[in-house]
Structure 1
Amino acid sequence: MAGSWASGSRGGKRGRRGLAAEINVTPLVDVMLVLLIVFMITAPLLTTGVEVSLPKASADNLQAPKSQPLSVSLKTNGEIFIQDTQVAPDELVSTLLAIAGEGYEERIYLRADEGVNYGGVMDLMTRMQRAGFRNIALVTDPKANQ
């Protein structure tokens, strides 16, 4: 009898069921949960600013210029100095042009007190650049880098 059952003597139907029209939801749920976790982790990184702690790096000193370099200093209280001479903020550009002349290509060293806010330094640099001074170097304390 076992042989007749295996040969399909039951009319060829052999306990066959109709096609199941159901969707297997388990793989879909697994994929959706993985995507949800990925988006939960990456979304906050994309929408909020990243807190940055800028690195402290020591760089090799530049070669000393042959002549006395031109330096502009900005103090915490807003006083501006060219070399050792105090200059009013609105007279900075005209004084630099009188000292260096137009087309001055040498490096100008900008020294700002660490208490000066970033906006004050950028304002000073912007005024110098608009006047045609493009070679500006920021000076740091070499002892702080060690």
Structure 2
Amino acid sequence: MAEINVTPMVDVMLVLLIIFMVTAPLLVTGVPVDLPDSKASALKADDTPVQVSIDKAGDVFVDEMRIEGGGLTAKLSAIRGARSDDTRVYVRADTSLDYGRVMGVVGEVSAAGFKRVALVSQPEKAGR
């Protein structure tokens, strides 16, 4: 027989495609944060925004890197020096945190020189 049967190869490739399609959305999230609900519409996505996350324990992360103590302003200033002036910063905070803690982090972002700061929420659920 001089022919090659490609049907098994196509079947395997389709299964791999389905596996990647299912697992790809799970790889996007970084720091687990329970975001508050909001009626606000989604913002237009920037190329590479900086994400500042505050988890339930109050720990601060910059793009999945934990920031110790008061080093947030210094880290953000270094990032601002390496990026353009119109870089957007997304602040993601857990629902259980108090308003003062979140505003303290937003203040540090502003002190680092970023002008475009956005608070991230998830769309409001229909039952609420």
Instruction: Determine whether 1:87 maps to 2:67.
Output: yes
Aligned to 1:78: 58
Aligned to 1:120: 101
Cα distance, 1:104 vs structure 2: 3.0
Q: Summarize deviations over 1:51-88 as a string: whole Å, max 9, x none.
A: xxxxx7523222222x2211100112110000111111
Spell out structure 1 runs of 4+ moving beyond 3 A.
none
Q: Distance in 2 between matches of 1:115 and 1:95?
A: 25
Higher CA-based Rg: 1
CA RMSD, aligned part only? 2.0
- Residue identity in the other structure for 1:107: R
8 Å CA contact 1:110, 1:136 repeated in 2? yes
Q: Which has the higher contact order (CA 8 A, sep 6+)?
A: 2
8 Å CA contact 2:54, 2:94 repeated in 1? yes
Segments of structure 1 that go 5 or more residues without pairing to the other structure are 1-55
TM-score by structure 2 length? 0.61
Instruction: Determine whether 1:141 maps to 2:122.
Output: yes
Segments of structure 2 that go 5 or more residues without pairing to the other structure are 1-36
TM-score by structure 1 length? 0.54
As a proportion of its length, which structure holds more strand? 2
